[in-house]
Amino acid sequence: VQVLAKGKLSKSIADEAINSCSHVQNLREAIYTFKIKLEHPSSVIEAKGLREQGLNYLLRYFYLIAFTNYLLERDLENVTFKDWLKERNEIQNLAADRNRIDFT
C-alpha cells in the first residue's frame, strides 16, 4: 500500500470488492485462516504446504490492490497492467520476495 500512488484508496476499493464477493470466498478471511492454521501445524510438511497456500492467497490480494491502483492512475494511453507493472520495480520486488513474508 505504501509504494502505490493511491495505495490506501486502492486497498479500500479492493476490500469492498472482496466483501461484495464474500458469498463465494473472502480473500482476507482465507489469509487469516492460513495464518491461524500455521500457528499449530501437525507436521513440518503441513506447515510448508499451509505457508505456500497462504502466500498464494496473499499474492492474489497483493495483485488485486495493485490492479486497483493501476485502474485509478492509468492515463488515456491505455497502458496494459503488465506494462504498468514493468515500470514499477518496487512492486515486482515485493511480489518476488516470498521468503521475506512472515505470517506469525
More confident residue, 42 or 12: 12
Per residue in 18-29, pLDDT tens?
Answer: 999 888 889 999
- Whole-prediction pTM value? 0.80
The string of DSSP codes covering 65-79 is HHHHHHHHH--TT--
Q: What would the mean pLDDT of 42-66 be, rounded to a whole number?
A: 89
